[in-house]
Chain A
């Protein structure tokens, strides 16, 4: 049941947070219906949260018993720069998706990410991004008709214009 791996950087803090989080959930679960009845809406959440507390305490005890890894570093092995940059980029994507729209946001996201991760030239990143966004747009927006935010792109007008071309009404 116990792992013999050495303690990784940040693991102790993470497990302390798990204990605290589980205790908070147990307190919240107790607040749902207290000890009203075994079939009360809070019964399963309470058992679940209590299980989490017990497990988290056992895990914390095991973590404290293990010796820390000397060769690993938090900034290199747990949160290296590419991970931090990617999390920041996904957050930025989510924030910009509504105001800018799916096409420009996806294009910007892919261009920056491919250029950063693959370290390829800007024109190559742009070309790859355009191709990928076009393919995803075709599959999701046109085939699966998934509605994505249009944002600054007059998407409806462009689609109507393209359809018009095929029906001979385009200018």
Chain B
């Protein structure tokens, strides 16, 4: 079967086409509901599609994935509650735009740039999958460790006015991610002798608590403020606006694709790194970052959608999932008797091209549903907050309970919600906490692998880092980000300027 025939399978089959459309549509709304994660939706879908053929099952899951990554931006813009971690950076500029009554315009731009980012990610998957996967496989454990530190530091440095508070929040997240049994030695860590903590802290409960409950509690301060009427005069952005931001979008799409292709990372890290990149390369934004800059929407949204295509690269070529959703899909492929990995592209190239085609179609459906459904969706923001807030809180509780049908997760969510509320009140950023929890395992495992391979010697580890160009670049970037946020940076540049 040649490439073209494989690409045409989902296009010519109405059932597959319908499932991709349905999945994308559902994904947008699943992604938009805080507390309902795409990971959760896809994992639930596996039980539904267990008895299905592999193509329909994949079609539905791919649609949910693509739609869900985009959908998270909607509540980030409208309510300042990212529907998914990948939309954390989008909220920074999207919500200020909604407060100005420009939610429709913001969602329109986000939809178009998400499509562009998604397209670039898929094209990269199709064209560069083997060489990019080859690049990712060269990463040493110390590189993954540095990447995790870099991710947390980036979020810490960009999401608050104090780097110290950002680092504190990131460290707190890593600590939370360490709770439970150590996977390598089965030693108990931060369990304090309680059974409930042996399984660790549910990441979803932490995320819903920190982003759903704490935001809900914060918004109670202004519960009686009348909702801003959204101007939805123009949804489809003008070509001049798209063209103006296209160079940045292309850069951040590339960042998203590469970050997405690195195993263990995903759209969330891609979006944050892309946002940081945008703040550095955009010299004179029309509106400052954090106050409604269009560049602040373009960068994270192109990157997180590009990361979808990127995440499939290691999954399909190496059998290593790019993120949590592709990890679940990997399981689904195994369930369906397939063996993802280097041999998949040799033995079943039709499967690879089917996935590329399904992703492309999901991207097109995302654009169509995204642009046509804005008017209805924007109405959410015009609902009285006094009615909307209890509903969001209720959905958060249901979402936390649904993680493992356990009331324990609801209590965790409430605890983290209250804690997150105080953190927010006193100026601590919450993004690094979540990222710390996500990256904790990556950091811990790779630190231990790296230090063991260097005979438990810090000196050897440092020598290895300096000797490897890739490690050196990552290491220097970490140092530069840290130093750039300290008074030392200002002193150096003042002296130079003087």
Contacts and interface: CB of A to CB of B under 8 A. Distances in A.
Interface in B36-55: 41, 44
B389 interface: yes
Contact of A14 (B223, B422, B452): B422
A140 B394 CA distance: 12
B168 interface: yes
Interface stretch (B13-21, B187-195, B290-298): B187-195
B301 to A, nearest CB: 26
A5 B167 CA distance: 19
Contacts of A110: 390-391, 394
Contacts of B444: 44
Contact of B426 (A11, A41, A44, A91): A11
A42 B448 CA distance: 11
Nearest to A58: B164
A75 B421 CA distance: 15
B162 A41 contact: no
Nearest to A18: B168
B376 interface: no
Contacts of B167: 51, 55
B9 interface: no
A80 interface: yes
Contacts of A25: 175, 190
A108 to B, nearest CB: 11
Contacts of B426: 8, 11, 14-15
**Main secondary structure on chain A at its contact with chain B?**
helix
Interface residues of A, number: 62
Contacts of B458: 38
B187 A90 contact: no
A147 B405 contact: yes
Contact of B397 (A3, A90, A147): A90
Given A28-B190, A44-B447, A136-B395, A55 B165 contact: yes
B407 A98 contact: yes
Given A44-B444, A45-B178, A32 B220 contact: no
Given A83-B421, A91-B414, A145-B44, A117 B168 contact: no
Interface in A103-128: 106, 109-110, 113-114, 117-119, 128
A132 B425 CA distance: 30
Contacts of A78: 425
B448 A43 contact: yes
A44 B189 CA distance: 11
B485 A1 contact: yes
B223 A82 contact: yes
A2 interface: yes
A3 B192 contact: no
Nearest to B186: A41
B356 interface: no
Interface in B467-487: 485-487
A48 B421 CA distance: 22
Interface in B158-189: 161-165, 167-168, 171-172, 174-175, 178, 182, 184-185, 187-189
Contacts of A43: 447-448, 451
Interface in A4-18: 5, 8, 11, 14-15, 18
Contacts of B384: 118
Given A44-B447, A55-B167, A144-B44, 8 more contacts: A3-B427, A37-B456, A42-B189, A45-B178, A86-B220, A86-B393, A146-B402, A146-B405
19 contacts: A41-B187, A41-B189, A44-B448, A45-B175, A52-B172, A55-B164, A59-B164, A62-B164, A80-B221, A82-B220, A94-B410, A106-B394, A128-B387, A132-B391, A132-B394, A136-B395, A146-B44, A146-B398, A146-B402
CB-CB nearest 5 A-B residue pairs: A113-B390, A118-B386, A55-B168, A117-B386, A41-B182
Interface of A: 1-3, 5, 8, 11, 14-15, 18, 25, 28-29, 32-33, 37-39, 41-45, 48-49, 51-52, 55-56, 58-59, 62, 77-78, 80, 82-83, 86-87, 90-91, 93-94, 97-98, 102, 106, 109-110, 113-114, 117-119, 128, 132, 136, 140, 144-148
